[in-house]
Chain A
């Protein structure tokens, strides 16, 4: 059975949830081979085995992380050449798409980005589903040349725990000088919030202009539900919340089970970031706000009155 390469998304060996989703999808297409670049393999191995990786290519070249994107694309290109996989799956993060882009050119392969589903076609082809034009359209596509390279959005497949052997295969590779042209000279990690990561969370509670800069009720409500906190572009531009929490076309695109928009009007820029959420709730003072055209439940009211009452009721229900 052909291998399917899955680029592992991790920080020092702590594997992100999206990788378990990709491994699950990989099993539909062939035999999952994880590609682990960097340090911390001992930490990662169990997680990769748990979700079906039969093989793990490990690459520990010291300087890969000192240079932006290009070295990882080079590693994957070498593995595509040596293992002739049925497909390469990469998480649809901004960096993931950049790696996939360079890999497509290097291997003369077609590239599909932001897939929300990937299935095996009867003829051995890889069939993808994507969402286009702010979620207005669903598109079915496939790669017609080379090794299909697909970047997949978070929350596209429930991870299935199926134990794989996760046999390590060390890859010796020398990164070319050309790939070392953009140097990362400093890395400033973000402080952990203790809340779920925005694109992976099952529930997201976002605040917008209606908060007037006070996100305390949004955060409390999020915490009562174990949710991630998002922010509209207006809130971020006003400096009320970090850009890394922005939900929208130029921020993060999320597709959680539940999305709650508090004090957000629902302009298309924002809708593009959350339109495919399974259930949508909005709280807004303005009954004409466009967000109410897309809700499963809406409250026309002041979030500073509605949310505290909801928080109390939720906490009571949790006992």
Chain B
């Protein structure tokens, strides 16, 4: 089975992510970054499937679109056990919206060559839109089997459990398919020492837009179908009163609720 996992290099949420004043884009260079935590679940799913008894000769290729530093996301994925990496990087991609990102990913998937399964996380941890997996399915004409909290592949069919608000659904499709997984699905493995060493020798291809046959004019900031007009840092919340419970904490809590008309 050939599996492609789409991953993203994102600003570290604990390192004060911010926007560039010059063009209102996400600052991906001035802030520490890492492989998006939610993508680790997708990599783990891919590796588990590749290692399973019926899988035969399986390959897990990890794919990312991002600036040079995004190579770190590929590296971590290879250390976990992915077999090969593809990094699409091009200055013209800067400022792309989800629509353009999904276009680039779709073309890269086609160039990698018709995988049986494309896996993604449930959402990125920076933009947190959760739309790229659906856009990929739409662009590639593949069944969309998304937000899986349980996943199995057998006899050329993928089956998932998808937990919604009102109900849990079982969804099934014939491969090839686009699958996204939630953080409920597994426990991602830590790279072993052996895995870290082995990663250094694994092949990583770096592609530009022209390698994909994607016109630079159809991606990037100017081509985006949405525009950020302005951003403003929210002032930190003013901290109110904090009391220590000395036998009356609950009473004081209730008083606060009454004073603020919650009771």
Contact = CB atoms under 8 A, between A and B. Distances in A.
Q: Is B one of A's binding partners?
A: yes
A292 B244 CA distance: 12
A46 to B, nearest CB: 21
Contact of A105 (B18, B135, B168, B231): B135
Contacts of A105: 99, 102, 135, 138-139
A155 B245 CA distance: 33
B130 A98 contact: yes
A140 B172 CA distance: 39
B113 interface: no
Of the listed residues A93, A104, A280, the one surrounded by the most CB atoms of chain B closer than 10 A to its CB is A104
B38 interface: yes
A186 B98 CA distance: 31
Contact of A102 (B135, B167, B250): B135
Contact of A187 (B97, B167, B183): B167
A43 interface: no
Given A101-B135, A144-B224, A243-B184, A294 B237 contact: yes
A259 B144 CA distance: 35
Range class of the B interface residue count: 35 or more
A141 B242 contact: no
B230 interface: yes
A9 to B, nearest CB: 10
A182 interface: yes
Interface of B: 13-14, 17-19, 38, 97-99, 102, 122, 125-126, 128-135, 137-139, 141-147, 149, 159, 162-174, 177, 182-184, 224-234, 236-237, 239-245, 248-258, 260, 262-263
Contact of B134 (A69, A127, A136): A69
A50 interface: no
Contacts of A249: 125, 128
A143 interface: yes
Interface of A: 11, 68-70, 73, 93-95, 97-102, 104-106, 108-114, 127, 131-146, 178, 181-190, 197, 203, 225, 243-244, 249-250, 257-258, 268, 272, 279-281, 283, 287, 292-302, 305-314, 317-318
A306 B253 contact: yes
Nearest to A312: B250
B240 to A, nearest CB: 4
Given A97-B131, A310-B254, A190 B245 contact: no
B249 A299 contact: yes
B173 A181 contact: yes
Given A69-B134, A101-B131, A307-B250, A141 B145 contact: no
A132 B147 contact: no
Nearest to B237: A294
A318 B262 CA distance: 11
Given A294-B239, A305-B249, A110 B97 contact: yes
A133 B260 contact: no
B253 A293 contact: no
